[in-house]
Amino acid sequence: MPPDLQVLLWKHKATLRNYLIGLKDQSPLKIFVITCFSIGFWVGLYGLFFSGFQFLNGFTDVLDLVISLLFSLFYLTLTLMLILSNAILLFSALYHSEESDFLANKPIYSGNIFIYFFVLCLFYSSWAFLFLGTPLMLAYGIVKQVHISFYPIVLLYFMIFMLIPAAISSILVVFVPFILPKLSLKKIGIVLAILLILTVGYFLFQFDNTEESEKYTEQWLTSIFDKLSFTRSIYLPSFWITRGTLSLANQEWKEVGYNLLLLMSNALFLLMLSYWLFEKLYFSGFQRISGSGIKKLYRTGSRLEQIVMSIPFLANDSKILVLKDIRNFLRDPVQYGQFLILFGLLGFYILNLRTLAYDGKDIFWKNLIAFLNLGATSLCLSTYASRFIYPLISLEGKRFWILGVSPLSRKRLLWAKFFFSFFSLLCISETLVLTSCLMLKVPWSLTLLQAVTCIFFSFGISGLTVGLSAIYMNLKDSDPAKIVSGFGGTLNLVLAIFYLVSITLTEAIVSYMVHASIQRYEKFYWLTQSVGINFMMIATGILVVVLSLSVCFIPMFLGIKKFETMQF
């Protein structure tokens, strides 16, 4: 191994070692919550896959074809996602990072720089593939009752397969500076988002152009298989690993070896090609990217500024702070990229509820699905508040003295952050929940209930997040991820999830009982008659109001009290 590459890899080895040593100084609550959530999510995936394979095991006539299509579609989807994630990581690491600026001006061979960043990006982008793939293969192996050798060999398949999308991404990235030298991360994100929307829309159209009377028939199932046949093309790496996995389960060793060598040879070829291209083109591409910066002028009087300044109940100085937070969010492609991923997938699902024929279900199914959608939306809100709202005060950092000498009181500063959080959460939640109710065609009473619930959710989460961010303020770190991963950020996420799940579960149970009473469903009819529908509804309403106000104002008052006594 070349000495310069050894030094670069040793640096990250030392960084990883120091990180592991520093875990003892981390918050025990943070480590406990992350560990429990990770294990719970992995076990949940395993249970889901195991139940699915057990269900499919009863259809012996089409079992092999269905499993082959599912695996091919699964691996093809992961291939596209890995190409996307590796491309974004490699482009930002090679052309838009301080480390690449440093290495490009040192006597280091361009091929070694490529290997260094390629290994890092492969690690950061591919761990999720292993996290999703291992419970899938474990569940399939247990249901199929495979030999014990299946598991290490399929893991070897995974390791080789991950190299192919990473190599394809590196080949695409090396040509970007010559085709679009002025392309920023923001523009790349927009282009990729448009392509994703068009692709998803195309497939939804393909699967939704069937009459309701023709669905779930043998002819409909055959047409679905025909539309998915492209995933089994012999030219796709996703089909090679699918064929190898199925052959491995059936102990067809010749097919196993053939597909393994096919993956390995293509991975090596693509890696050699990408390495050769970086040797020839990296430094010239880096110079093109570095010399194409354009200063953007931000003028006053924009439409966004007019909207914010027209808010009637906020003082002008508070409006300026809200405007600053919005602009900081819009100017950071990483933040709104995460935002689009977080809410974009949920939005796609809600917009296609009628494609899944959920609007044709009876009131009990509609009630269940509507509250499941409300629960998913509320969990996304808690993640959004923890990731984007909680770090706002701490990110002021060393510049906080500017606010300290300004005529703006600290109390009004916190309330400005609160209103920014409240309105952003309210717009997001109401849009998703009202669209969900519209697509499900639920009764207006249930729609009104969920709309009002979103108001209280936004109110409670905003007070909780802003209050705790003032109590556990961290002015030392400038990285939002580090600020969020501290004790305060972890506590905020846990409390927000507990609050949201408690309210959603309570409302869902009471709403179900009320509709059961109206329909005279015997299982709950006696309970609603003995307790009383009106009493149950009033008690639930009082619980939501009291809990939301407590979650909002208690942390806010404690945060204001500590914030006003802090010395900076």
**Residue 204 to residue 316: CA distance in whole angstroms:** 46
Q: What is the pLDDT of residues 303-315, one digit of tens each?
A: 777 777 777 767 7
pLDDT (0 to 100) of residue 384: 83
Q: CA separation (Å) from 518 to 108, 260, 533, 539?
A: 75, 61, 10, 19
pLDDT (0 to 100) of residue 207: 53
pLDDT at 30 over 90: no
Q: What is the pLDDT of residues 341-381, one digit of tens each?
A: 666 666 666 665 555 555 555 666 777 788 888 888 888 88
Where is average pLDDT lowest: 39-43, 220-224, 362-366? 220-224
State the number of CA atoms in the 13 A half-sphere of 473 facing the CB: 24
CB 177 within 8 A of CB 286: yes
Three-state DSSP class for 109? coil
pLDDT (0 to 100) of residue 172: 87
Q: What is the pLDDT of residues 249-258, one digit of tens each?
A: 888 999 999 9
Where is average pLDDT lowest: 34-43, 227-236, 262-271, 512-521? 512-521
Q: Mean pLDDT highest for which of 13-22, 156-165, 379-388, 398-407?
A: 156-165
Higher pLDDT residue, 225 or 432?
432
Where is average pLDDT lowest: 56-65, 230-239, 359-368, 413-422? 359-368
Question: With the C-alpha atoms ordered 280, 285, 286, 287, is the resulting torsion angle positive or negative?
Answer: positive
pLDDT (0 to 100) of residue 351: 64
**Residue 88 to residue 383: CA distance in whole angstroms:** 23
**Residue 442 to residue 367: CA distance in whole angstroms:** 8
Q: What is the mean pLDDT of residues 186-200?
A: 62
State the number of CA atoms in the 13 A half-sphere of 14 facing the CB: 6
Q: pLDDT band for position 338 (50/70/90)?
A: low
**Residue 385 to residue 328: CA distance in whole angstroms:** 16
The residue written with tokens 């292993």 in the block is 130
Amino acid identity for residue 444 in this structure: W
Contacts of 527 by beta carbon, 8 Å cutoff, 6+ apart: 513
- Which of 275, 91, 122, 290 lies closest to 192, judged by CA? 91
Question: With the C-alpha atoms ordered 58, 60, 65, 68, is the resulting torsion angle positive or negative?
Answer: positive
Q: Mean pLDDT highest for which of 70-84, 350-364, 388-402, 450-464?
A: 450-464
Amino acid identity for residue 426 in this structure: L
165-204 core/surface letters (b: 16 or more CB in 10 A; e: else): bbbbbbebbbebbeeeeebebeebbeeeeeebeeeeeeee
CB 425 within 8 A of CB 385: yes
Diameter over CA atoms, the chain: 83
Q: pLDDT band for position 269 (50/70/90)?
A: very high
**Residue 143 to residue 31: CA distance in whole angstroms:** 33
pLDDT at 153 over 90: yes
**Residue 36 to residue 29: CA distance in whole angstroms:** 11
Taking all residues of the chain, what is their mean pLDDT, rounded to a whole number?
A: 77
Q: What is the mean pLDDT of residues 497-518?
A: 79
The residue written with tokens 């669209």 in the block is 435
pLDDT at 36 over 70: yes
pLDDT (0 to 100) of residue 267: 93
50-70 core/surface letters (b: 16 or more CB in 10 A; e: else): beebeeeeeeeeeeeeebbbb
Q: What is the pLDDT of residues 437-463, one digit of tens each?
A: 887 777 787 888 888 988 999 999 999
